[in-house]
Structure 1
Amino acid sequence: MKFSLRQLQVFLATARFENVSRAAAALAMSQSAASGALKELESQFDVQLFDRLGKRLQLSELGRQLRPQAERLLAEAEAFEAALGGEQGAGSLRLGATLTIGNYLVVPMIAAFRDRFPGAEISLQVANTETIARQVADFELDLGMIEGELNHPRLQTLHWRDDELQVFAAPGHPLAGRRPVSDRQLLQLPWIVREPGSGTRQTFDRAMHGILTDLDIAMELQHTEAIKRAVEAGLGVGCLSRISLREAFARGSLVPLQVPQRDFSRQLNLIMHREKFHASTLTRWLELCREYNTENPSHVF
């Protein structure tokens, strides 16, 4: 075999960081050793894996074609090494989750997973749907857990569980306790909503089809808690996942508004790269997701 696993590690780390120095640091190598490994890999096969743009290295067309195979080879090698060492469930998993899932659903799941597999290393990145999808597509994350709808040629989407958005207001709002709220009334309200690119905003925009362009979008915020605080302060009404509103409704700091003529239902999905190797840690996480695919009372979210 003309290439080594170390060369694959350097190739993939450089593809991720687009910089040899940062790739070397991530692999605990010297810059000269990492650069040498990359140059040797290219020279052995007389190919160019990167286009060099100053200090930035961008994958060439060949590099982009080979990256999924390299990712799979390295993942299989790491799984083989773990099996040889008898390290059951000791692999690593890089998760990405959108805000509602990351803030209200995933943390208890990670705790349950670590109870079952103490040797597992789990990392979590929380961002909006667009960011998580890009990171999964670029192999920066092993699995994405998202709220938005997605159609990406490199990604596989699996339905995980159902969810629904809820319009809400402060307890003293004039519409609190009145039902239902008409479209005419919706158009008279100042709205505090998530930013474009988030799954929650995507569902909100779809639900408000026909009147969306006439809505008064007073504020666009990136965090659910910030939206709840703004609504509590009387700055407008909001629309978020019911999952994120349970505690606020229970203590009475926010109240639901009934809008039955609008469909706020949606799906929460899992996304993976189509070329992703399913190591044992990823497979076990998917099994856990199946256990948590409904609002099971035995699972406290």
Structure 2
Amino acid sequence: MRYTLRQLEVFIAIAQSGNLTRAADHLAMSQSAASSALKDLESQFNLQLFDRVGKRLQLNEQGRLLLPEAMALTEQATALQNHLMQHQGTGKLRVGATLTIGNYLAVRMVANYMQQHPGAEVTLTVDNTEHIVDKVLNFELDVGLIEGEINQPELEIRHWQTDELVVFCHPAHPLAQFDQATDEQLQQARWILREEGSGTRQAFDRGMYGLLPQLDIAMELEHTEAIKRAVQAELGISCLSRIALEDNFRRGDLSEVKTPQRDFGRSLYIVLHKQKFRTAGLNAWLALCDETVA
């Protein structure tokens, strides 16, 4: 074989950091050894993977084409090593979830996974759809559970389960006294919404098509609980996943506002990189996802 896994690791580290020194530090090797490994890889195949811009190494088109294949190969090698050491154990699993899924579904799923696989190592990253997708694309996460709709040719996107958004308000708000709210009433309300780039905001904007320019958006917040607190403080009304509101509706500290003329249905998705090697742990997680469809 004309290349080594170490050469690929150096190439990947430089591509991710854009700096030879940081890449060498990350791999716990000298700068000269990292530089030599990159030069050997490039010279063996008579190609250049980076453009040299001052002290920065900028990935060029050839490098961008090679990067996902190199990452998939090194991950497969790591998985093989883990299998040899752990006798087909699940190894480390990096899960990403958007805020609603992460706060109300994924934590319980991680607990179930670790119960089924004692000793498994799992990390859970909770962020908005845009950021979770970026991390899956860059192989920083093994799998993502997202609320938003995306179109990324590098990703495998699976429908997971259905969900719906619900408009809600403080129990003393005038809208709480009506069986349902009209579009005119929705336009007159003051809104507290999730930020742009979140799956919840994407579904809300689609559901409110035709009314968006007329809405009074008083505040945009990144966290579901912060939005619920703001509505409880009578700062406005909002729209979030029913998953996040069931306990509040049961307690009566928030009230549902019915909007039958608006379609707030949506899908939740599983996203994986198409070139991601499916480890035993990842396959076990996907099986658990299938079991937890609502």
TM-score by length of 1: 0.92
Deviating above 6 A after TM superposition, structure 1's stretches of 4 or more consecutive aligned residues are none
CA contact (8 A) 2:163 2:268 kept: yes
Does 2:186 correspond to 1:189?
Answer: no
| Separation in structure 2 between the aligned mates of residue 126 and residue 215 of structure 1, nearest angstrom | 29
TM-score by length of 2: 0.94
Cα 1:196–1:67, aligned 2, differ >3 Å: closer, same or farther? Answer: same
| CA apart distance, 1:130 | 1.3
| CA apart distance, 1:69 | 1.6
Cα 1:275–1:126, aligned 2, differ >3 Å: closer, same or farther? Answer: same
Paired AA for residue 224 in structure 1: T
| Separation in structure 1 between the aligned mates of residue 119 and residue 6 of structure 2, nearest angstrom | 24
The 5-angstrom pairing of residues 284-295 of structure 1 reads 284-294=284-294
| CA apart distance, 1:108 | 1.3
| Separation in structure 2 between the aligned mates of residue 7 and residue 65 of structure 1, nearest angstrom | 16
Q: Percent identity among equivalent residues? A: 57
Give the aligned partner of residue 45 of structure 1. 45
Give the aligned partner of residue 130 of structure 2. 130
Cα 1:223–1:71, aligned 2, differ >3 Å: closer, same or farther? Answer: same
Paired AA for residue 123 in structure 1: T
The 5-angstrom pairing of residues 124-163 of structure 1 reads 124-163=124-163
Give the aligned partner of residue 298 of structure 1. none
Paired AA for residue 46 in structure 1: N
CA contact (8 A) 1:169 1:237 kept: yes
Kindly report the root-mean-square deviation, in angstroms, between the aligned alpha carbons of the 2 structures: 1.6
Q: Which moved more, 1:239-248 or 1:87-96?
A: 87-96
The 5-angstrom pairing of residues 28-67 of structure 1 reads 28-67=28-67
The 5-angstrom pairing of residues 111-130 of structure 1 reads 111-130=111-130
CA contact (8 A) 2:94 2:123 kept: yes
Give the aligned partner of residue 70 of structure 1. 70
Unaligned runs of 5+ in 2: none
| CA apart distance, 1:25 | 3.3
| CA apart distance, 1:67 | 1.4
What SS does structure 1 have at the residue aligned with 2:103?
Answer: helix
Give the aligned partner of residue 110 of structure 1. 110
Paired AA for residue 245 in structure 1: L
What SS does structure 2 have at the residue aligned with 1:196?
Answer: coil
Unaligned runs of 5+ in 1: 295-301
What SS does structure 1 have at the residue aligned with 2:176?
Answer: coil
Give the aligned partner of residue 276 of structure 2. 276
Give the aligned partner of residue 297 of structure 1. none
Give the aligned partner of residue 206 of structure 1. 206
What SS does structure 1 have at the residue aligned with 2:174?
Answer: coil
The 5-angstrom pairing of residues 170-189 of structure 1 reads 170-189=170-189
Cα 1:268–1:185, aligned 2, differ >3 Å: closer, same or farther? Answer: same
